[in-house]
Chain A
Amino acid sequence: DPKIIQKPKYLVAVTGSEKILICEQYLGHNAMYWYRQSAKKPLEFMFSYSYQKLMDNQTASSRFQPQSSKKNHLDLQITALKPDDSATYFCASSQDRGLNSDYTFGSGTRLLVI
């Protein structure tokens, strides 16, 4: 069984629309992250959360908003979608946020903006 569930697996969106990417982890981890992978910038850090609190935000745009309704959930809302947002978005988690943290990644949501 997958330990980190990301939904949907594939997503096609129209430019200007809004989408929410879902992430749930069943590892009992306290820290969760979002990364983006595209041809231009492989595995680019976006956000980190620890105990449902935002710890770090490296996205330049406020169009990307993480949402944590439960400790094991970290969704990603993207508004006013642009073709440049097309990428695979990976959710990851670790036991805690620390130097030696092993990340477990979900299988990703592949987003295509047309």
Chain B
Amino acid sequence: GDSVTQTEGLVTLTKGLPVMLNCTYQTTYSPFLFWYVQHLNEAPKLLLKSSTDNKRTEHQGFYATLHKSSSSFHLQKSSVQLSDSALYFCALSDRSGGYKVVFGSGTRLLVSP
């Protein structure tokens, strides 16, 4: 079945530094990839999404590029802020899974002053 792997459980950074959160996936069909962000005690919210190979997609300073050759969709930001501290989920959807969105285990980003 489909799966999404996020290797880092926790990433800690100082404000102003760049960040990359890893996401790789497994599927036999052409997928749609998503990043959702969940702040403490809040609902997950869509951050960005893509299905286009090798095209960078951006939102709120975050960006990601879907690379089908390596089955990756890493999330990046050039300069993190304190408000970026949250849980980040990579997710995918494809027709083999009935279009339901399958989430990775999540990466918690903690940004310190």
**A83 an interface residue at 8 Å Cβ cutoff?**
no
Encode contact with A along B28-47: 1 for CB under 8 Å, 0 otherwise. 00001000100000111110
Count of chain B residues near A, Cβ 8 A: 23
A35 proximity list for chain B (CB < 8 A): 103
B93 touches A99 (CB 8 A): yes
Encode contact with A along B79-103: 1 for CB under 8 Å, 0 otherwise. 0000000010101011100111111
Interface residues of B in 29-84 (CB under 8 A from A): 32, 36, 42-46, 49, 51
**A97 an interface residue at 8 Å Cβ cutoff?**
yes
Interface residues of A in 30-64 (CB under 8 A from B): 33, 35, 42-45, 48, 55-56, 58
**A69 an interface residue at 8 Å Cβ cutoff?**
no
A43 touches B44 (CB 8 A): yes
Residue with the greatest number of chain A CB neighbours at <10 A, chosen from B45, B87, B93: B93
Roughly how many angstroms separate A40 CA and B42 CA in the complex, as a whole number?
Answer: 19
Chain B residues within CB distance 8 Å of chain A: 32, 36, 42-46, 49, 51, 87, 89, 91, 93-95, 98-103, 105-106
- List the 8 closest pairs (A to B, CB-CB), nearest first: A105-B43, A43-B103, A56-B98, A42-B106, A99-B32, A105-B44, A107-B43, A102-B46
